[in-house]
Structure formats: structure tokens, C-alpha cells
Amino acid sequence: MRPFSKLTQGLVGQPMLEILTTVTAMEAAGRKVYRFEVGDSDFDAHPHIIEATKAALDSGHTRYVNSMGIEPLRQSISRYIERGWGFRPDLDQIVAMPSNSVIDFAVRCLVDPGEEVIFPDPGFPSYFAVTNYLGIQDVRVPVYEANGFRLNPDDLEAKITDKTKLIIVNTPQNPTGAVMTREEAERIAAIAKKHDLWLLSDEMYSENLYEGLQHHSPASVDRCRERTIILHGFSKGFSMSGWRLGYAVGPAALMAKMGLMFQTIYSCVPPFIQYAGISALDGDRQLLRQRMEFYQHLRDVMVGALNEIPGVSCAAPKGSIYAFPNIQGTGLSSQEFAKTVLEKAGVAVVPGPCFGPRGEGYVRFCYLREESMLREACEKMKQVLAK
């Protein structure tokens, strides 16, 4: 048989989804598993979003539509960006597609094989999954617990070479929950401009901010007109992971290219899903605020209970939906820790190195689960690790 293409050699699975497969098998065998591995909420999308999807199905929004996204959705996105980011993008600066596709398509439209993309370590695994299969060099900037896992702009600038084409930053950050300050966001925008680089700003978790913190984006500097692309979507803030809806906001010429690529590979996002997105963005902000207060409570429960486990320490992350405790005091590697708590306590977590080499010594929990489950799981881990 003729071999597969060279590209297939670089395809890697998302570690969370591989753990999901193991856990599903354990559950099928009747084992109770406390599942913290998937970056998703156990709490459903708000009913108005589900009803809007159903209403769109009933209204016949079930045929091919514009590959860039239907106009009413792009108008909603434009208004949403204006409210949260302080500038109003034109409709041709917006393209609707799943958020993971935004990473793949932005990288493929901007970077040639052999060139370099810089992103944080630890960081969201899709950055590496995409660059790796495309033959593009990943360059990792370490983020340190001592700095609250925030990316230091100087560390970022030090990684730039004449092969660098794109910088990816992420605030609030997955897996650490770090939140960029306004000053850091502006510095990063200035570095991208100084070196004439593209900047993909992954802001998936911008709704998931605690303690009244404001979201700061490097995109506010060039208003996505020059070099900055905002990656955003509905999975995390609006609990809509299964809708597979996201969007990019960026320079119109680039959005046209990404839209063309989307047209070639998918035609369009299902229109009834786009109407769900409108319902989410135009919905009652009070509902969302209440949910974020609830999430902050869950974070506090999780962090508190983690800190009672011997050898585990965890600062309260300021954003995102994850706790990323330091487990070095247990004497276990991240992998050993994850294996031990899964086998002995039935607790599924993601080992830190799944997010990059600098994740060693940490594990990731997604804490958007029933409070009783958080407490029970931590109690079980405590018993197992006390031995």
C-alpha cells in the first residue's frame, strides 16, 4: 500500500480527548470516575440558547449560507466586541467558524513551513498540534508560577528571530488561569508592531474572569486592523462546547483568506447554530454574571480543597475554568500523580506536560462541576496521597 502523506507523521491527538477515551472505558466497566479532565462545564447552556437553536431549525434556517457567517451573527459579534473591547470591527473583519479552526487556518494563512510561531509554555495544546503537523517550528516562552503564570513580555521578545512570523498569546490562560494586565497587553501589541509580526490573541475565556477583573486585550491597540487577530468562541463563556461555534476578528484581507479556506473545507457553519450564537451574545448579561459568580464559588471550593491535600499547593487563578496546582510536594511526577489519582481515587486530571514541558510538576483540573463532586474527589485524593 502506498504510504500516507508526510504530514500525517506530525498529527498528534489532543491529550484531554485521549484521557476521555480511557475514562469512558473505565466508566463503561462500572467504575465511578470524578472527571476533571475535559475543559467543559457540567452546567448546561442557558435555556434561551437551546430554544433559539430549535426555533432556527423550525424556521428553516437549514441550508447553505455565506461562508463568512450570516450577517446578523456578525453584527452581534461586532456589537459584542465593541462592548467588551472598546472598538467596533467592520463585518468583513469577522469570520465565524469553530475556534480550533481559527488556530489552524490563521497559522496556515500566515506561516510557511520552516518559519516560527511563538506561544506560551505551558499553553493550550492545539497550538502545538497545529504547528507540528504543518511542519512549522514551535518556539515556547516559559511562564512561571512565581509571576502568577503571566507571560513576561521581555521573555516573549527574547524568543523572536528572523524566522518568527506569528505570536500566539492567551488571556485568561489555559491551563494556568493567568490574566494579562493592561500594561502587559499593550507591551505585547508594541512588540508585535516593532518586529512586524502577526499576533493571534486567544481570548476564549474572556467571560471567565473573577473578582471583578477587567479583560485586557492586545487587540485594543490596533483594533484588529493591522496585525492582531482575536480568537473567540462560545464554548467556554456560554457553555456551548457542543455547538462548535467560534469566530475570528482580524484584518479584512486575512479574514477573507480564512473565509475562503473555510469555504473550501466546510462550506459554512450550520445556520441554526449561528442563530444560537446570536441568542448568546444578545442575551441577558445578568444571567452570565450570575453564572460567573457561581463559577468563582466553585473555583474557591476547588482551590480550598486542593490545598488540603498533602504536597499540593494551588493559588486561586484569576480567570479561565481551571485550577493548575503545583504537585511537586507529593514527590510524584505529573504523570505519576495523574495515574495514581485516576487508579486509586477515580479522579481524572490532565498532567501538566500535556500543555508543554514547563507543565511538569503541575496538573490541570476543570472545576465546573457540582460542588459535592469537587469536595468528594479532593477528599479521596487526600486519603490516597496521605498514604
Tell me which residues in 11-40 interact with a second copy (CB under 8 A). Answer: 11-14, 17, 20-21, 38, 40
Could you tell me if 236 and 39 are in contact, meaning their C-beta atoms sit under 8 angstroms apart? Answer: yes
Output 144 or 266, the one with its CB closest to a second copy: 266
For residue 75, state whether it binds a second copy (rule: CB under 8 A): no
Interface region with a second copy, contact rule CB under 8 A, candidates 107-115, 138-146, 326-334, 379-387: 107-115
Q: Where are the beta strands (DSSP E) in the chain?
A: 34-35, 94-97, 116-121, 137-142, 164-170, 198-202, 228-233, 246-249, 322-323, 347-348, 350-351, 363-366
User: Minimal distance in Å, beta carbon 387 to a second copy?
Assistant: 34
Q: 8: helix, coil or strand?
A: helix
Output 243 or 365, the one with its CB closest to a second copy: 243
HSE, side-chain direction, 13 A CA sphere, residue 63: 2
Interface region with a second copy, contact rule CB under 8 A, candidates 79-87, 110-118, 146-154, 280-288: 110-118
User: Minimal distance in Å, beta carbon 102 to a second copy?
Assistant: 10
Out of 53, 76, 173, 320, the only residue in the binding site for a second copy (CB under 8 A) is 53
Output 110 or 180, the one with its CB closest to a second copy: 110
Output 8 or 286, the one with its CB closest to a second copy: 8
Tell me which residues in 296-315 interact with a second copy (CB under 8 A). Answer: none
The x, y and z cell numbers of residue 24, run together, are 469512558
Output 265 or 287, the one with its CB closest to a second copy: 265
User: How many other C-beta atoms are found inside a 10 Å radius of the C-beta of residue 311?
Assistant: 15
Out of 189, 230, 249, 269, the only residue in the binding site for a second copy (CB under 8 A) is 269
Within its chain, how far is the Cα of 250 from the centroid? 18
Contacts for 248 with CB less than 8 Å, ≥ 6 apart? 94, 95, 97, 102, 105, 106, 229, 230, 231, 232, 255, 258
Out of 29, 30, 32, 60, the only residue in the binding site for a second copy (CB under 8 A) is 60
Output 260 or 384, the one with its CB closest to a second copy: 260
- Go through the chain and tell me how many residues it has: 387
Interface region with a second copy, contact rule CB under 8 A, candidates 212-220, 251-259, 314-322, 328-336: 251-259
- The 3-state DSSP composition of the chain as helix, strand, coil percent (nearest 5) reads 50, 15, 40
Interface region with a second copy, contact rule CB under 8 A, candidates 141-149, 209-217, 266-274, 290-298: 266-274
Tell me, residue by residue from 141 to 170, as one string, x for binding to a second copy by CB under 8 A and - for no binding: ------------------------x-----
For residue 104, state whether it binds a second copy (rule: CB under 8 A): yes
Tell me which residues in 172-201 interact with a second copy (CB under 8 A). Answer: 196-198
For residue 265, state whether it binds a second copy (rule: CB under 8 A): yes
Please name which of 258, 180, 256, 160 lies closest in space to residue 221, comparing C-alpha atoms: 180
For residue 369, state whether it binds a second copy (rule: CB under 8 A): no
Q: Which residue has the cell 504543518?
A: 134
Interface region with a second copy, contact rule CB under 8 A, candidates 152-160, 269-277, 316-324, 349-357: 269-277
Interface region with a second copy, contact rule CB under 8 A, candidates 79-87, 250-258, 281-289, 357-365: 250-258
Could you tell me if 99 and 148 are in contact, meaning their C-beta atoms sit under 8 angstroms apart? Answer: no
Angle, CA of 337, 237 and 24, to the nearest 5°: 40
Q: Is the dihedral of CA 105, 107, 113, 119 positive or negative?
A: negative
For residue 6, state whether it binds a second copy (rule: CB under 8 A): yes
Q: Which residue has the cell 491535600?
A: 309
Please name which of 309, 311, 292 lies closest in space to residue 374, comparing C-alpha atoms: 309
CA 311 to CA 307: how far, in whole Å? Answer: 8
For residue 286, state whether it binds a second copy (rule: CB under 8 A): no
The x, y and z cell numbers of residue 325, run together, are 496546582
User: Minimal distance in Å, beta carbon 225 to a second copy?
Assistant: 11
Out of 29, 63, 386, 387, the only residue in the binding site for a second copy (CB under 8 A) is 63
Output 18 or 186, the one with its CB closest to a second copy: 18
Cis geometry, peptide bond prior to residue 325 (ω within 30 degrees of 0): no
